Amino acid sequence: MKKKRKKMTLDQIIKIQAIIDKRSVRSDTLELLNEKRYSKSKECMIRYGDMHIDHFIRVFVNNIDDSQIREYVKKVIVGVFKNGTH
């Protein structure tokens, strides 16, 4: 039987960031984390805060209507993670 690995959620990432920054999490960030979207693969509503960062980025980028903006956002996200700038 294949063991399921735990994945870090957006909730966990935001909590870690708050500790590192020594600042509380902004209320609008908490509101976003509590918003839900329908997951076709799981066939249910899922909170953004419960999502893995990879899934959140994919959903975010794929929901941008303009293809040029979508490609720009992809490049920026890749650049941030590649260069460690944020």
**3-state secondary structure at position 21:** helix
45 and 38 Cβ atoms separated by less than 8 Å: yes
Tell me, yes or no, if the pTM score tops 0.85: no
Token pair of 41 as six digits: 């693969």
Half-sphere exposure of 10 (CA within 13 A, CB side): 21
Low-confidence residues of the chain: pLDDT under 50 = 86
**What ranges do the domains of the chain cover?**
10-83
